[in-house]
């Protein structure tokens, strides 16, 4: 009962045991602008989408990695754009107004106990969201499914944030990336309209779920992912942005710069996605954030393959607008298997929206930097 009460409080945006308003931090954001666009080589669509990522580089490894130089960052944030007609372009970027000192490793939060080779940690704390009253309401309505098997989150009128590995394996684009579709889950009745008219009432048990699909027009993937091939620095850039061919009619989540784990309300994160073991259902979960690096957030939210690409979000107070704002602060990458002293250990990893990533993704969405000065 206590767990269910906590769930209801989180749905309402209330952090249990927290009397002060957790506030979005105010900071000056950098600018990431395209400098040169050129045609890329013909893309190859060779591999199946991986619903999990693997890496031998765990939290300690990431904390000890060399701080990237300005030129490294320019390369990592340069990007490829796959167009619906199969054409590929490569864009080099410039970075302005960024302080290299902020790239120093952050202090870590308390270390979490490690679970081995598991995707559900103890009691399965996920909630299947059913019924039109919840499913089609914000923020659950902002969750979408990719035709490659992953999840995504609406972050604009026609933009979807997801994981890079859902469309690109680090070397090649996955099968289906050129004809990528985004599915919007909606309920419908099994009975025909005439049968429904004759029925005195409709039972929720008769509700079936189906998707309305919209094709992707463009897919942006950062070079940091393509260079890394899902290991070492690559995992830091496991995100991609899809532009749809037409606008959707749903409310989207805002993009936000990821605060430190200690600043999060209740130190909790939450996200919704389409886990493979619950076909046709939207699955919601929340948990406490654990260790963190500058680019990654480690946690033990229960999840299964298919949830990768979900937008990790929190709700905090916006002191400028004087209201509560939900913002996506990361992208759920998946289960990271790490070899520590000869034993395999499992982490759930989210890619944090850093100031530079915010500036890049926001430019992809807005098409200008003027509207990307507040995260």
Active site positions, annotated: 165, 232, 308
Task: Please give the backbone phi and psi of residue 160, each rounded to the nearest 5 degrees, phi first.
Answer: -130, 125
Q: Which two tokens stand for residue 30?
A: 């950098």
Closest CA to 119 of 264, 306, 263: 306
Q: Which two tokens stand for residue 313?
A: 């979000």
Give the whole-angstrom CA distance, residue 218 versus residue 177: 10
Closest CA to 283 of 305, 299, 265, 267: 305
Buried b (16+ CB within 10 A) or exposed e, 350-372: bbbbbbbbbbbbbbbbeeebeeb
The answer to whether residues 130 and 281 touch, using CB atoms and an 8 Å cutoff, is yes
Strand bridging mode 254-255 / 323-340 = parallel
């Amino acid at each position: 009962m206590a767990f269910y009460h906590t769930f209801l409080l989180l749905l309402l945006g209330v952090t249990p045991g927290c009397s002060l308003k957790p506030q979005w931090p105010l900071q000056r954001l950098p600018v990431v602008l395209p400098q040169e666009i050129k045609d890329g080589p013909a893309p190859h669509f060779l591999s199946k989408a991986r619903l999990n990522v693997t890496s031998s580089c765990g939290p300690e490894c990431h904390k000890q990695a060399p701080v990237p130089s300005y030129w490294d960052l320019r390369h990592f944030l340069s990007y490829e754009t796959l167009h619906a007609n199969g054409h590929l372009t490569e864009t080099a970027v410039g970075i302005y107004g960024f302080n290299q000192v902020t790239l120093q490793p952050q202090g870590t939060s308390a270390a979490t106990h490690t679970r081995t080779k598991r995707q559900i940690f103890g009691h399965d704390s996920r909630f299947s969201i059913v019924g039109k009253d919840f499913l089609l309401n914000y923020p659950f309505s902002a969750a979408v499914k990719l035709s490659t098997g992953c999840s995504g989150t609406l972050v604009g009128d026609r933009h979807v944030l997801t994981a890079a590995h859902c469309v690109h394996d680090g070397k090649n684009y996955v099968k289906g990336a050129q004809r990528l579709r985004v599915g919007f889950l909606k309920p419908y009745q099994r009975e025909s309209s005439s049968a429904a008219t004759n029925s005195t009432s409709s039972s929720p048990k008769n509700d079936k779920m189906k998707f309305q699909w919209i094709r992707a027009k463009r897919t942006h993937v950062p070079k940091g992912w393509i260079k890394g091939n899902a290991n070492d620095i690559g995992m830091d850039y496991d995100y991609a942005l899809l532009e749809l061919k037409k606008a959707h009619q749903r409310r989207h989540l805002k993009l936000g710069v990821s605060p430190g784990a200690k600043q999060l309300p209740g130190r909790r994160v939450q996200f919704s996605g389409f886990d493979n073991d619950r076909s046709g259902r939207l699955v919601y979960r929340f948990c406490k954030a654990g260790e963190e690096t500058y680019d990654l957030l480690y946690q033990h939210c229960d999840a299964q393959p298919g949830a990768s690409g979900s937008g990790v979000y929190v709700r905090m107070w916006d002191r400028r607008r004087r209201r509560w704002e939900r913002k996506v602060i990361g992208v759920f990458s998946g289960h990271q298997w790490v070899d520590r002293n000869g034993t395999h250990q499992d982490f759930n990893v989210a890619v944090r929206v850093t100031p530079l990533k915010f500036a890049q993704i926001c430019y992809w969405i807005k098409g200008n930097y003027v509207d990307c000065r507040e995260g």
